[in-house]
């Protein structure tokens, strides 16, 4: 089945056809029982044949209609209206052929119940024999009884070609509306399948757009971080601190080997995310060996929860920039994970000076990037708050508890 141009599964169509003709068979049989038709056994197996033939003709109608599944609704309706005409005539013809041999027998049975004799003469006229008595007159002028005599009247003349087509058309009309009802059902099933396919396509497009947005947001992080680390590396080289520069190069190598190993739009375990931040802080520790202190608190049971990759990177980087770099004393950067009320809470904080004097706009692109990535990944199920705390600055993320698998 083509995902872009879906076809209704054959088993669904066949089930609808069998259901249609099974209902037809049951209703006609119930009608015959109610009106008291004779020769029910003879009629029953003939109805089975007609119903099976109806199934076959409807299958052919379906095979024709499916060629127009991808066309406009108006065209499909028009095709169904036209195609149902020869199909209904075919079913009516089969019905006539199957029931013709028994029609006269049924009429004779009905006549016998009423004490009448119904028969066809050599010309094909349908006759009704009416029993009666002939009367005469004797020589004395009185009435004398004669031998009984019977009269026959024609109740249905021998059918002509026009009569045949008139009757066939009458039968075909009832089958025509039956086929139109099934065709309407089939078109509704096709419309439902197309609607579901369009919904799946829309979901794929939305997923692709979200992945593209996540890639764009994550790629904002890597160049920003690389720019800062290269500046730091340049400063170390310029000041003759080759050993520390080499140490930073090794740390940068480990950091990028770790970060580039994962899908740029996928989730990673919280263990891996915090491990990556520790690699980053190793790099920054080369710049600030005396001032940068790190505290990580990750309960073991939370380590396998999944979070967006590098979601903490801008927050840790801001703590280095506004906390460690702006201070002349040791500053501790803390990364803490907790479960609170069924949510994963991540806090990144530092006990540095906080925002510089006159700074009113938050952390700029870093914090905005985190907010946008959380919204793209979780919608309203995630939140971020950021602001000064007693003795420093703190950013808190509240995320759904996403587990592996």
Q: How far is CA 119 from CA 38, 43, 147, 155, in A?
A: 17, 20, 23, 10
Q: Which residues of 347-375 are buried (b: 16+ CB within 10 A; e: fewer)?
A: bbbbbbbbbeeeeeeebeebbbbbbbbbb
Q: Within this chain, do residues 188 and 250 fall inside the same structural domain, yes or no?
A: no
Q: What is the number of structural domains in the chain?
A: 2
| Integer Cα distance of 222 and 260 in angstroms | 10
Residue 148 lies in a domain: no
Q: What is the pLDDT, as a whole number, of residue 137?
A: 47
Considering the domain architecture, whether residues 55 and 178 belong to the same structural domain is answered as yes
Instruction: Convert the pLDDT of each residue in 309-334 to its tens digit.
Output: 888 988 998 898 889 988 889 999 99
In a domain, 215, yes or no: no
Please say which residue of 150, 171, 200 terminates a domain: 200
181 and 67 in a common domain: yes
Look at phi and psi of residue 380 and say left if phi exceeds 0, alpha if psi is from -120 to 50, else beta: alpha
373 lies in some domain:
yes
How much is the pLDDT for 155?
65
Rg, Å, the chain Cα set: 45
Is residue 219, in this structure, part of any structural domain at all? no
Q: Record the tokens describing residue 69, joined without a space.
A: 């599944």
Domain assignment present for 41 = yes
The CATH number assigned to the domain holding 347 equals 3.30.565.10
231 in a domain, yes or no? no
* Whether 14 and 110 share a structural domain: yes
Range of the domain at 279: 241-399
- Residue 98 belongs to some domain of the structure: yes
Pairing mode of beta strands 343-350, 392-399: antiparallel
Q: Are residues 189 and 245 in the same domain?
A: no
CA distances to 20, 48, 190, 313, 398 from 344, rounded to whole Å, are 55, 66, 45, 17, 6
- 246 and 177 assigned to the same domain: no
Among residues 180, 200, 220, the one where a domain terminates is 200
In this structure, the answer to whether residues 182 and 268 fall within a common structural domain is no
> Helix (H, G, I), strand (E, B), or coil: what is residue 146?
strand
Furthest C-alpha separation in the chain: 164
Helix, strand, coil percentages (3-state) for the chain, rounded to 5, are: 60, 20, 20
Length of the chain: 405
* 124 within domain boundaries: no
Beta bridge partners, 392, equal 389
What pLDDT, on a 0 to 100 scale, did the predictor assign at position 191? 87
Residue 384 and residue 257 share a domain? yes
Q: Which residues of the chain have pLDDT under 70?
A: 1-6, 35-40, 103-152, 154-159, 205-225, 228, 258-265, 355-365, 404-405
């Amino acid at each position: 089945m083509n995902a872009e141009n879906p076809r209704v599964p054959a088993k669904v169509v066949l089930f609808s056809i069998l259901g249609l003709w099974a209902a037809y068979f049951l209703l006609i049989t119930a009608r015959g029982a109610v009106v008291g038709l004779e020769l029910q056994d003879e009629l029953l197996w003939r109805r089975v044949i007609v119903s099976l033939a109806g199934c076959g003709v409807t299958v052919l109608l379906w095979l024709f209609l499916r060629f127009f599944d991808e066309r406009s609704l108006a065209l499909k309706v028009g095709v169904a209206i036209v195609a149902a005409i020869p199909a209904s005539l075919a079913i009516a013809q089969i019905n006539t052929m199957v029931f013709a041999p028994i029609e006269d027998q049924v009429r004779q049975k009905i006549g016998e119940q009423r004490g009448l004799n119904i028969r066809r003469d050599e010309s094909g006229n349908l006759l009704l024999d009416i029993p009666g008595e002939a009367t005469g007159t004797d020589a004395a002028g009185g009435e004398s009884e004669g031998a009984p005599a019977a009269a026959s009247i024609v109740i249905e003349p021998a059918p002509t070609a026009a009569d045949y087509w008139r009757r066939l058309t009458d039968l075909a009309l009832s089958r025509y509306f039956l086929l139109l009802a099934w065709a309407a059902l089939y078109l509704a099933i096709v419309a439902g399948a197309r609607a579901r396919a369009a919904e799946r396509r829309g979901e794929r497009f939305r997923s692709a757009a979200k992945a593209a947005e996540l890639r764009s947001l994550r790629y904002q992080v890597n160049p920003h971080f690389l720019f800062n680390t290269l500046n730091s590396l340049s400063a170390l080289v310029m000041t003759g601190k080759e050993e520390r520069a080499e140490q930073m190069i090794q740390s940068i190598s480990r950091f990028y080997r770790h970060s580039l190993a994962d899908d740029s739009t996928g989730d990673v375990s919280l263990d891996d995310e915090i491990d990556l931040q520790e690699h980053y802080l190793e790099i920054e520790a080369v710049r600030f060996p005396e001032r940068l202190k790190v505290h990580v608190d990750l309960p073991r049971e939370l380590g396998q929860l999944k979070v967006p990759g590098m979601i903490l990177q801008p927050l840790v980087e801001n703590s280095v920039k506004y906390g460690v770099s702006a201070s002349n004393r040791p500053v501790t950067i803390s990364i803490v994970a907790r479960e609170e009320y069924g949510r994963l809470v991540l806090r990144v904080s530092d006990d540095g000076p906080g925002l510089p004097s006159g700074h009113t706009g938050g952390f700029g692109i870093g914090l905005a990037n985190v907010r946008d990535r959380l919204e793209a990944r979780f919608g309203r199920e995630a939140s971020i708050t950021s602001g000064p705390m007693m003795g420093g600055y703190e950013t808190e993320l509240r995320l759904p508890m996403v587990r592996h698998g």
